[in-house]
Structure 1
Amino acid sequence: MATSLQEIYQAIGTLTNEVKNLAEKIDKAEEQAAEGSRRADEHRAGIHRRVDELVLDVGNVKADVAALKSDIAGMTNEVAKTKEVTDEVKRWKLMGIGALGVVGIGGTALGVSIANSLEWLAHFFRTP
């Protein structure tokens, strides 16, 4: 197994070349990993930004809902007051209708009484 010095140098050259190729491949793989990590960081940053925007939107929606609840409570109070007034006006209307009925009956009774009185007077003056 005697190998010549030339073959040893050739083997060392081949090994050196293979080591260089491996080093280049490792560098390329590290660059790709760094690029992938950078893209992942950018993607995560975008997701965090969107989540932050959603948090702000949810906060705004909560504030709007609270304002609407307050407005609804105020409107409910106003509707209750308006209902009281409406009920009172209905009561007045019914009282007015009742009063008109009483006045109508009274007027009819008075008219009948006057008519009977006039008939009696006419009868009184006609009889000799």
Structure 2
Amino acid sequence: MAAASNNDLYRAIGILTATVEGLRRDIDASERRAGAENREADEKRAVVHRRMDELIGEVGGIKTDIAAIKDDVTDAKAVTDDVKRWRLMGIGALGVVGIGGTALGVSLANSFEWLTRVLHK
């Protein structure tokens, strides 16, 4: 099963929650009518319990999907942190090379200036 997006998971959880609440209302209503309609109420309760068992299985699947997504997000965060660290190291290296290049350029310019003074005399 492919991992679903967080929005799909939240929507499924919302639907399941609404369904469970509806089932609770069905159970309460069937228990109130239990007097003369015992057999009919028992059949409805059996259907409701069967539906609740199915929903519990679906919720377990959603929890598994959410755990997989959390693992993926954790892995992605580690990669992102590594890339940020590499970028900072690269910027630092460019700064060092820039400073070194500037120092070398100034040194060469001063050397050429000194050489022209010496040769000009």
Identity %: 48
| Bigger-Rg structure (1/2) | 1
Equivalent residue number for residue 102 of structure 1: 96
1:86-126 CA distances to partner (integer Å, 9 max, x unpaired)?
A: 11111101110110111111111111111111111222222
Q: Distance in 1 between matches of 2:113 and 2:41?
A: 103
Structure 1: 5+ residue stretches without partners: 1-39
- Select the structure that is richer in helix: 1
Q: TM-score, normalised by structure 1?
A: 0.61
Match for 2:78: what amino acid? E
Is residue 2:49 matched to residue 1:55? yes
Q: Distance in 2 between matches of 1:124 and 1:63?
A: 91
Q: How does 1:1-128 map to 2 (within 5 A)?
A: 40=36, 43-127=37-121
RMSD over aligned Cα atoms? 1.7
Q: TM-score, normalised by structure 2?
A: 0.64
Aligned length: 87
Q: CA deviation at 1:45?
A: 3.1
Compare relative contact order (CA 8 Å, sep 6+) and give the higher one, 1 or 2: 2
Moved segments of 4+, more than 3 Å: none
Q: Distance in 1 between matches of 2:49 and 2:72?
A: 34
Equivalent residue number for residue 6 of structure 1: none
Structure 2: 5+ residue stretches without partners: 1-35
